[in-house]
């Protein structure tokens, strides 16, 4: 799966992609879980989640292009690859292995392997962090990719408490088809497939 992931990224032929791939290796993206206590909270879960989001986005694009052919030019392969596979790059340096305690079926305490979070390296919002990392690594992205990664959390984004942020996400959803496509692929992958 890791080889396929890297091949897909390289297929975009985007300037800066080699630095992105090196970052993924250095900060443990391929071994990280997708979450601590929800979907794919196991080693390699983040890689699996990203690939599932990509495959779901492909299926959604196919369906929507059949329904509305003019969407095809708004949803090119390279943008789909970048937004789907890199939307959660922000998690690469967040999860640390840890031993935790729980009660077994007999009520006795036991240890188990788990993860803890550490947001101290770059404590900014989830989607923003992914965009910041990618741009700081020199990845050449267009505005639709930036918006799709920034807003991939959709309504789950805590910053939506402000009127300005609501306006921004509504604008992105209304005028950049990649944004709702990635939001849907991420949500459907998380809640239906994982």
For 8-37, how does the pLDDT look when each residue is reduced to its tens digit (9 = 90+)? 999 999 999 999 999 999 999 999 887 676
Q: Are 192 and 162 in contact (CB under 8 A)?
A: no
Would you tell me the crossing angle of helices 143-150 and 178-188 to the nearest 10 degrees?
30
Asked whether residue 165 carries a pLDDT value surpassing 60, the answer given is: yes
pLDDT surpasses 80 at 40: no
Alpha-carbon span 10 to 55, nearest angstrom: 17
Say how far apart CA 147 and CA 83 lie, in whole Å.
9
Q: CB-side exposure of 85: number of CA atoms within 13 Å?
A: 25
Using a pLDDT cut of 70, give the percent of the chain over it.
87
Query: Given this model, what pLDDT does residue 64 score?
Result: 96
Q: Angle 49-53-56 (CA atoms, 0-180°, nearest 5)?
A: 135
In tens, the pLDDT along 85-110 reads 999 999 988 888 878 888 889 999 98
Instruction: Tell me the pLDDT tens digit for each residue of 109-131.
Output: 988 877 777 777 776 777 889 99
């Amino acid at each position: 799966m890791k080889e396929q992931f890297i091949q897909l990224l390289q297929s975009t032929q985007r300037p800066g992609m080699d630095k992105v791939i090196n970052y993924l290796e250095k900060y443990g993206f391929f071994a990280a879980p997708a979450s601590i206590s929800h979907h794919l909270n196991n080693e390699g879960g983040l890689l699996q989640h990203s690939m599932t989001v990509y495959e779901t986005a492909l299926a959604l694009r196919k369906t929507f292009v059949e329904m509305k052919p003019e969407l095809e030019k708004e949803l090119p392969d390279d943008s789909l690859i970048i937004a789907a596979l890199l939307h959660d790059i922000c998690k690469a340096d967040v999860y640390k292995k840890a031993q935790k305690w729980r009660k077994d079926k007999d009520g006795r305490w036991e240890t188990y392997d788990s993860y803890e979070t550490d947001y101290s390296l770059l404590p900014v919002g989830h989607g923003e962090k992914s965009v910041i990392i990618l741009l700081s690594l020199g990845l050449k992205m267009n505005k639709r990719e930036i918006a799709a990664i920034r807003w991939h959390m959709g309504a789950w984004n805590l910053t939506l408490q402000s009127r300005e942020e609501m306006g921004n996400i509504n604008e992105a959803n209304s005028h950049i088809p990649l944004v709702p496509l990635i939001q849907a692929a991420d949500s459907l992958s998380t809640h239906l497939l994982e």
